[in-house]
Amino acid sequence: MKDAIKQLREKTGAGMMDCKAALKEASGDAQKAVDILRKKGLAAAQKKSSRVTKQGVVQSYIHMGGKIGVLVEINCETDFVAKNDEFISFVKDIAMQVAAANPLFVKKEEIPETLISKEKDILKSQASGSEKKKPANVIEKIIAGKLEKFYEEICLLEQPFIRDPKIKIRELLTSVVAKTGENVVIRRFTRYQLGEEETAKV
């Protein structure tokens, strides 16, 4: 049991008692225990999401021998957490994520409605134009699924984490909120690629 608790702590960063309780609730199933801890972390993160975040750091990351550069601003509630190793590691991971995955927005809510409508029209046209005619409800499901993939491509929080594709950036953020005990917000980022012309996000 001690080894299982230790492994769960290393994987999730949750406290010893929380890990012990999660393993008990999951009848010793490690993966179920991870899911339980993630759900609890999400609930805790939602409670903290309204708290003011005026501290934090601006982190830079240069990739591919100076070919790609990233600046990210990530906020937390206190200067103490801003200097915390867990928080700093998270900020660095996010800078690397932006460099590698090239998102356009932090979250879905930032996407202009015009861009979503344009994408929906393209997907609708693709689904309707296929050789076999599909019922309207099937077309809607296809569009909804492809729209989620579209969000995954352009929204940082929806992207699979480059270090562990089984989790999304929003889940990683939730785990950092749970570990630090503070509201943490990915405020903004800028990505530069050598020789690339600046393009509008709409």
Q: Do 38 and 166 contact (CB within 8 A), yes or no?
A: no
Identify the residue with better confidence: 7 or 47: 7
pLDDT at 46 (0 to 100):
55
pLDDT at 145 (0 to 100):
87
Which of 56-65, 99-108, 122-131 holds the top average pLDDT?
Answer: 99-108
Q: To which H or E segment does residue 69 belong?
A: strand 68-76
- For the chain, domain boundaries: 2-48, 55-107+155-193, 112-153
pLDDT, tens digit, 9 for 90 and up, residues 96-125 = 999 999 999 999 999 999 999 999 888 888
In this structure, the number of other CB atoms found within 10 A of the CB of residue 197 comes to 5
Model confidence at 202, pLDDT cuts 50, 70, 90, reads very low
Identify the residue with better confidence: 169 or 38: 169
**Architecture, CATH, for domain 2-48:** Orthogonal Bundle (1.10)
pLDDT, tens digit, 9 for 90 and up, residues 20-48 = 888 888 888 888 887 887 776 654 555 55
Identify the residue with better confidence: 156 or 127: 156
Q: Which pair of tokens denotes residue 25?
A: 């609730």
SS (H, E, C) 94-160: HHHHHHHHCCCECCHHHCCHHHHHHHHHHHHHHHHCCCCCCCHHHHHHHHHHHHHHHHHHHEHHHCE
CA dihedral over 195, 200, 201, 202, signed as positive or negative = negative
Q: Which pair of tokens denotes residue 27?
A: 């009848």
Identify the residue with better confidence: 56 or 128: 56
pLDDT at 180 (0 to 100):
86
Q: To which H or E segment does residue 10 belong?
A: helix 2-12
d(CA 166, CA 63): 24
Domain 55-107+155-193 is in which class?
alpha beta
pLDDT at 45 (0 to 100):
52
